Structure 1
Amino acid sequence: MSSFHVLIAGGGIGGLCLAQGLRKAGISCTVYEAAPGIVQAGYRLHMNATGGNALKQCLPDNLYELYMRTSRTTPRREAFVLIDDQCQEIGTRPHLGPDNDPRRPHTAVNRRTLRQIMYSGLDDTVRFGQPVTGYEEHGDKVRLLLADGTSAEGDVLVAADGLHSVIRRQRLPQIPTVDTGLRSLSVRVPLTADLVASLPDILFDGFVLALGPRNVSLAFGAYQPRRPVAEAAAELAPEAAIDDVDPYLMMNCVIDETSAYLAGIPDLWTATGDELHPVVREAVRDWHPALTELAERLDPSTLAPMSVRRLEPVDTWPTSRITFLGDAIHAMPPTFGSGANTALRDAACLAQALERATTDKSDLLTEIAAYERDMRAEVWPIFRASADPRAIDQADFLPDGVPVVNR
């Protein structure tokens, strides 16, 4: 099977990880990404041992080390911390996933930095500016159709093209996309020395969610790299194009789409950061002074609205040469910080399955079926739980006998 070739639709976190894993295994692949390059799409990503171990499997040693060195410094508590709007701790819950590395744990990364690291060495593999429009099956081959009228042929097609996957919609049109009705205003707050000194320590724990009145919540996650990004990249991957990143606090203000706070915004999706900034200010106006200060000091140029959407889990589907990974098949709300980690897990497991099919002469469809079955067994419990409106239940964070805060 020396001519075996894998087509990957989508060059996000999962697609690039899969490409690196396949290259490491000596398997030919091409990634087709609609965006013109590695654009800014989100900020901080929580990482756990599930995602970190997948990166260790798929990346060359120098790029894996670069990921570790540009990860966030280890917080005093690597946990999910729930607080109220006055910065009073409600409780903590361990992050999902296997035991973390006790010496240098997986913490968090800057999303674009991770993508730039994973793109390193793949210049001849990734085709930017190539939206996919569908596919055709021809016996034991798959033809990927591209928006410019051209096509590409391979032995396997992997849908890594996210929540709105063109490939999934063609292959599994019965899976609906669900809009939760929540809107997230995601933004970065520059972490200057004076701001760091003024903020409560609890805001620098692993991942922090503040629950406020009127169904408003603020999610916080610090990004303070273990080593300056540019410095680490110059040493470990001098040929890679990796931008420097200053420390910041990621903040997500989550409100309902019907909230009065959005009443003055005619079109959320075309509003500028300067127009959205007052929404965040007003939403947290009576909160703890440290939280209102963060709302004041956010960088409006980084403020971006997002819909919180998900897919409905399906129990099974017919196995074929078209398969899926990450958000293309199990897009979930960010409730447990598992979206990126499970996408990386999928990529590593699929790379192993395809390596077995090409080197051990295992049956290709048998290996794909096993990969999909294992994915459902491992990821679906998190997938289903994240879709439950009770996923953030204060009682889950409290010791027995402690009353839940009523609002």
Structure 2
Amino acid sequence: MAPRIDVYDPSVYERGGIPFAQLTWLRENSPVHWHPDPEGPGFWAVTRYADVVAVSRAPEVFSSQRRSALLNELTPEGLATNQMIMLSQDPPLHTRTRSLVNRGFTPRMIARLEDRIRAICHEMVDRVIEQGGADFVRDLAAPLPLHVICELMGAPDADRDDIFTWSNQAIGADDPEYAGADGASALFGYAMELAARHQSEPLDGIMGALLEETAEGRSLTQAEFGMFVVLLAVAGNETTRNAASGGMLAFARHPAQWRRLLADRSLLETMPDEIVRWVTPVNAFRRTATRDTEIGGHPIAANDKVIVFYAAANRDPEAFDDPDVFDVSRPPGTHVGFGGGGPHFCLGSHLARLELRVLFETLLDRTPDIALSAEPRRLRSSFVNGIKEMPVTFTPGPRRG
């Protein structure tokens, strides 16, 4: 018997997380499914791994730019603004922007951050280790990517709380706790201040490089820089935070996997990708058909709204052995937690893997008996698989010397 299908309503996700029972039924029975949309005529829900990958790798047919990559409908003004973000651009515009920012996120550049990331992780643990308990999200998952993003941006520590608040508001428009405030505009304004200051006090590192001309005479305009900072602050902060929180929840639900890590630290190399597959921090993105086409043999009309559900694809038994098993030794590289390939593959994937590896390595060393002490409180969002609060306990220990 078919379940009641509603994989768009954010309250569904707030109550129980990603609705895997519905997504599984869709993937097995209606993998390209016409779904009602309270803001428009409806959309095609795409849930099969092969179809999600095919849509992701054909930007000329399935556009991010025509109606943005976000799930909800935008006003003409909102759409014009959103199309300035690389996330909602198609080639060749996306190709130009991405080529400018790629240079700061190569594996070699990211590897230079490992010592700093490890220091941040120890500082976070130091602040809670004597208490024997913490809110995993606020105290351990959120500060790490926030610190790293602020350092990449050249933002002073004093601005971290503001950037944290603005990124929450930008991603949580469907959550009453964050709705009503325009965090994206606040982040853009802040980025404009950084760009203006760069003229007299040059920013260091990646952000400064983005405002300087390359050997070919190319650079980001101030507006493009501002929109990239919005994307970096939201995507680089929220996704890693929710991957870490969701990963800790997975270990709480599957303690044998935590014991495997305690016994064999080499599994820290494969663990980050399995966390991202299992959690799928970004549940779905939207595309718009540029012409009459098909997905998996199913006809799609020009301008139809298409939503690809990465969470469903990441549990597809056609793509993964035992997909409903959390296995930290699973070979990495085939999941779509960083996108389904193509031009929009996650720019920060190397950074996310590094942050997750070092964070959980630090927790294994210093809080080996960490455990959930209450059920998590989830974000009201069908876009992001977010956790807002998750209390944990552990044996109290000493701060570092």
Fold-level similarity (TM above 0.5): no
Q: Going by fraction, where is strand more abundant, 1 or 2?
A: 1
Q: Could you state the TM-score of these two structures normalised by the residue count of structure 2?
A: 0.30
Higher RCO structure, 1 or 2 (CA under 8 Å, sep 6+): 2
